[in-house]
Amino acid sequence: MTNITNKTNINIFIEKKISLHLSSLETKMIQRIQSVYLLVALLISSGVVYILNLWINIDGVEVFAFDLIKNKGVSLKGIPILFLVSSILSLVTIFKFKNRQTQFVLGRLNILINLIILGLLVVHLQSLSGETSVSEKGIGSILPLITIILLVMANRAIKKDEDLVKSVDRLR
């Protein structure tokens, strides 16, 4: 009977240790401001872009990012794919919180991807003469700009953390 009780106590002890370790890991990751910036950028790239329209065409139909996959133009098909890549990159960047240099590089790459998205949208929205296919620009077309701002703020916070660690290492 005591052998079973000891095994149960050991299992309870191990479960508590694991849950404490996981909760401290999550707390360390979440309490950093760059994780919040990256999470909001992830939400914008993965969800909001499919809720808010990019533009309204001449027929009055709202065009969303997912609708561009059916388009014949290669550059327009790339927009939803790049939004997906940006969201995956933001997610990977959040979980690379132990390696600030990698986080910084992934943030820069994500900024570049969002600049490409923004460039493709601007070229498409501005190159059309009159109202050939775009009647009204939607709020979804500025989402890459908001994502870029969030990613720059996250990279600035990552750089600040890295500088703090380097200054502490110099004191040792």
Predicted confidence (pLDDT) per residue in 50-65, tens digit = 788 887 777 777 777 8
CB within 8 Å of 92: residues ≥ 6 apart? 106
| Entry pTM | 0.75
Output 35 or 65, whichever has higher pLDDT. Answer: 35
Mean pLDDT, all residues of the chain: 79
In the three-class reduction of DSSP (H, G, I as helix; E, B as strand; rest coil), residue 63 is classed as strand
CB within 8 Å of 150: residues ≥ 6 apart? 37, 38, 40, 41, 44
Closest-CA residue to 84 (of 115, 118, 121, 42): 42
